[in-house]
Amino acid sequence: MEQRPTVYSDEKLFKKLLEDKNITIEDALENEMVINMGPQHPATHGVLRLVLRLDGETVLSALPELGYLHRGYEKMAEEMSYIEFIPHTDRLDYTGTMCNNVAYVLAVEKLLGIEAPKRAQYIRMMIAELSRLAAHMVAIGTYAMDVGAVTMVMWTFREREKIQDIFDRLAGARFTTSYTRIGGVASDADSVTLKMVRDFLDQFHSALDEMDKLLLSNKIFIDRLEGIGVLSKEDAIALGITGPNLRASGVEYDVRRAKPYLFYNEMDFKIPTYTDGDCLARYWLRGDEVRESVKILYQILDKMPQGEILANEPKHTLAHKAEIYTKMEELIHDFMIINYGINPPVGDVFFSAENPKGELGFYIVSNGSGHPWKMKIRSPSFCNLQAIAQLCKGAMISDVIAIIGSLDPVMGEADK
């Protein structure tokens, strides 16, 4: 009895494979081939699996398979209080953690009907934009690396590192920030932090120009992206694409402008759009968005108001630690909130915010108790991935890498 590999559980098939010695190269070339790309593939940005049907190098059809990073956050959310879920939002889109924190607490605040003080809102806006910069730096860097420009990722990650340092000072953690609180933020942004942000922005302009110089005079980079993976305006809307990918297809839709939350209505910024809808347009658009975010950040720093960073809502917001230890009233409220939760009114709300990847929405159903009856996370990466099958059809196999990179999915968010 010969030793056989365990992967062939079907004995008949295994025998046939052993006997069939007459397969020629011509046979293989004439037939279609099904290959499995991922889940452990560096260019799929996490654990995305694609099953590709190929004719030579042309993709006949592509089938995305999700669920390799499914952790069941929606189920877990039903078993924990509203405050306990904040750290879990970090793990959704782990490149833009602060944006998730902000979107989640805004959704809960909408359900409660409370509002954070102005300074807290401005700090939230600041960290959300910084987070957007960081996420776009990752997106652009890894995208360029996927199509062969490896230097780029070093340069963008260097800039991102500076943003992480600001988060480290502000929230005490670089990635898993969990910085926002229901009714405000965890700690005040002192003058040193604000100075760090300003210093970062001042040197960021020249860094961006350097990056542009590196990539845009690179013929290979342009050739690999131009005209690849074209997504028309109608298809983008029909497939539910949001965020940079939608705007690259020519739809001027940004939640920050359409339904302004925080104080985005006081900010002066443009919404960049492109009409080509190809991979290059999606690259350009992220670059433009970074520049708009820098503009917003300067305005936030100039207008940053003074005042409280937590709303005065004792039934809904946790008081500062120092007050809990010294005042009776605060201690009682802290005890009640931790043990019984914040008990929002019965009802359901949908709140969505503009995240680096697209529109992140939280649909929360409350039955009046301390934890949500249901929480649905409408994650932009999940919705954007729906376009992959259509975009890959008819493309070359090397274009598939460019298309995935241009859609910029984060599997932590797509799989929840």
Q: Which of 74, 84, 115, 276 binds another protein (CB under 8 A)?
A: 74
For position 378 contacting another protein by CB under 8 A, the verdict is yes
Closer to another protein at the Cβ: 203 or 265?
265
Closer to another protein at the Cβ: 121 or 366?
366
Q: Count of residues for the chain?
A: 416
* Sign of the Cα pseudo-torsion (36, 40, 42, 45, in order): positive
- Residues 356-375 close enough to bind another protein by CB under 8 A: 359, 361, 363, 365, 373-374
Instruction: Using alpha carbons only, give the angle 80, 81, 84 rounded to the nearest 5 degrees.
Output: 80
The Cα-based distances of 183 to 320, 340, 355 in angstroms read 12, 18, 20
Alpha helices in 347-396 (DSSP H): 380-385, 388-392
Closest approach of Cβ 66 to another protein, in Å?
6
- Residues 250-279 close enough to bind another protein by CB under 8 A: 251, 253, 258-259
What angle, 0 to 180 degrees and rounded to 10, lies between the N-to-C axes of helices 118-146 and 97-112? 140
For position 9 contacting another protein by CB under 8 A, the verdict is no
Question: Residue 4: which of 15, 103, 376 has the closest Cα?
Answer: 15
Binding mask 289-328 for another protein (x = CB under 8 A): ----------------------------------------
Percent composition of the chain: helix, strand, coil (DSSP 3-state, to 5): 50, 10, 35
Closer to another protein at the Cβ: 79 or 226?
79
Binding mask 165-184 for another protein (x = CB under 8 A): --------------------
- Residues 215-254 close enough to bind another protein by CB under 8 A: 237-240, 242, 251, 253
Closer to another protein at the Cβ: 90 or 359?
359
Instruction: Using alpha carbons only, give the angle 170, 173, 179 rounded to the nearest 5 degrees.
Output: 55
The H or E element spanning position 52 is strand 49-55
Q: Which of 276, 287, 386, 396 binds another protein (CB under 8 A)?
A: 386
Strand arrangement, sheet containing 347-354: 347-354, 359-366, 374-378
Cα 116 to Cα 107: distance, rounded to the nearest angstrom: 12
* End-to-end Cα separation, the chain, in angstroms: 47
For position 72 contacting another protein by CB under 8 A, the verdict is yes
DSSP string, 139-167: HHHHHHHHTT-THHHHHHHHHHHHHHHHH
Q: Which of 42, 56, 113, 368 binds another protein (CB under 8 A)?
A: 113
Part in contact with another protein (CB under 8 A); list of ranges 176-184, 195-203, 332-340, 382-390: 382-390
For position 110 contacting another protein by CB under 8 A, the verdict is yes
**Rule CB under 8 A: which residues touch another protein?**
6, 66-67, 70, 72, 74-76, 78-79, 110-111, 113, 237-240, 242, 251, 253, 258-259, 347-350, 352, 359, 361, 363, 365, 373-374, 376, 378, 382-383, 385-386, 415-416
